[in-house]
Amino acid sequence: MTVPSSPARPGKILGIQHIGIAVTDMDRTLPLYRKLFGMDISLFDSIQEAPLMRSHTRGETITKRASMVMNLQGGCAFEVLQPTSFVPRSAPVEWGDLGLLAVTMKTHDVAAMHRHALPVAAQAGMFCETQVGQTPWGDPTFWLQDPDGIWFQVVPDTGNFAALRHPSSGGMGCTIGVSDIDQAMALYGKELGYDEVLWDESGLFADWAALPRGGERYRRVRLRPSKPAGGGFSPIIGHTTIELVQALDRKPPRIFRDRIWCDTGIAHLGMDVREMGALRTHLTAQGFPFRCDSNDAIGMGKTRVHCTYIDDADETWIELIEVHRVPIVENWGLFLNVQKRAPEAPMPRWMLHALRFSRIRDAQPRAGH
């Protein structure tokens, strides 16, 4: 089933670009994500003030470190965040709470990824399901929880961009808790373009048994775009999905009700867009006004972007990001000016493959040490 999308919507929303993940210690988390998920392509890593986010930080200007990393085998990127001007707070997330509940990760072989993840998780002191389970639609899956309490679900996907011999690819999307799925579809289906309903059922679900409050009743709706995603990084990102979750046995709270942006957790869902001005007018008319807007290209390292945020009906934070300039191989002075390209046009494959020169390779311990 396909949900009707906005006819002739001004501006372009091309799909999920990245997932913002706020952590307590990036020097611990980045090597872990490289080892566990192969997120070893670094697009930028910088420390800057974040005046844009005052609407999400109780009016205070915070300073944060941000690192954008991806897996060249495929999938969307992570923007890993750590505040440097305050100590981040965390709170346990119960399943069905309102907000970003989990990151979905791609792999071409779930069993191989599970064999890889078990010892890595044990060494890192993090949770990993001991057995591979099955989704209600028949795919193998398992769950991980990192040292900051952030949930990851591993699912199969065969659309690899490059073969790097790591069992994991990058992100496929997110699971999002909402108070009313039908209401939420006005944004996620109609405006963001995740308009094809792959699965819609209510009840108890065995694949959530390991999750806190996962044994309660839920409605869950799995979505993907009916039209292929475009944009410069689309050959790498590939297929993306959003799963909406509505608790049926309780009225859950908002995940970030007592926290601010950059407190520990999944901070935001980043969407790749073009024609930001037209989008602002359109989304405001649809009831999704911009909460903040850089109004111009801002710098994150050598990357130049135009950023804004909107909220869903439950105040889940969604970043709209229009890339102006991105480094491909910074040491060679190779940059891409995205604004000079057609919005849906992918980058040349040779240019995307050149990102491998930005890989971070961690030193391996010597035998006997």
Domain span holding position 150: 12-358
DSSP string for residues in 179-209:
S-HHHHHHHHTTTSS--EEEEEEEE--GGGT
* Secondary structure (3-state) at 19: strand
* pLDDT score for 160: 81
Mode of pairing for the β-strands spanning 292-293 and 265-274: unpaired
Distance CA 26, CA 34 (A): 12
Q: What is the pLDDT of residue 173?
A: 96
Neighbours of 80 (CB within 10 A): 23
Distance CA 107, CA 75 (A): 9
In a domain, 23, yes or no: yes
pLDDT beneath 70, residues of the chain: 1, 3-11, 229, 294-305, 324-345, 363-369
E strands within 148-284?
Answer: 151-156, 171-177, 196-203, 218-224, 241-247, 265-274
CATH number of the domain that residue 133 is part of: 3.10.180.10
* 83 domain residue, yes or no: yes
Q: How far apart are CA 299 and CA 323, in angstroms?
A: 10
- Which structure tokens are listed for 212? 């806190």
Q: What is the pTM of this model?
A: 0.90
DSSP 8-class letter at 338:
G
Q: What is the 3-state secondary structure (H, E, C) of 276-327?
A: HHHHHHHHHHCCCCCCEECCCCEEECCEEEEEEEEECCCCCEEEEEEEEEEE
> 253-257: long-range contacts (C-beta < 8 A, 24 or more apart)?
253/97, 253/98, 254/97, 254/98, 254/99, 254/314, 254/315, 255/91, 255/93, 255/97, 255/98, 255/99, 255/100, 255/101, 255/177, 256/99, 256/315, 256/317
Residue 341 domain flag = yes
Q: Say if 256 falls within a structural domain.
A: yes
Q: Could you give phi then psi for residue 37, rounded to 5 degrees?
A: -115, 0
In a domain, 46, yes or no: yes
CA pseudo-torsion sign 128, 133, 134, 139: positive
Count of domains in the chain? 1
Q: Phi and psi of 76, rounded to 5°?
A: -75, 165
Q: Which tokens hold the place of 41?
A: 């392509």
pLDDT of 159-211, one tens digit each? 788 888 899 999 999 999 999 999 999 999 999 999 999 999 999 999 999 99
pLDDT of 3: 67
- Which of the 8 DSSP states describes residue 356? G
How many angstroms from the chain centroid is the CA of residue 233? 14
Most distant pair of Cα atoms in the chain: their distance: 64
- Residue 363 belongs to a domain: no
Reduce the DSSP state of residue 50 to 3 states and report it. coil
- Does residue 261 lie in a domain region? yes
Give the Cα separation of 12 and 8 in Å (integer): 10
Q: Identify whether 369 is part of a domain.
A: no
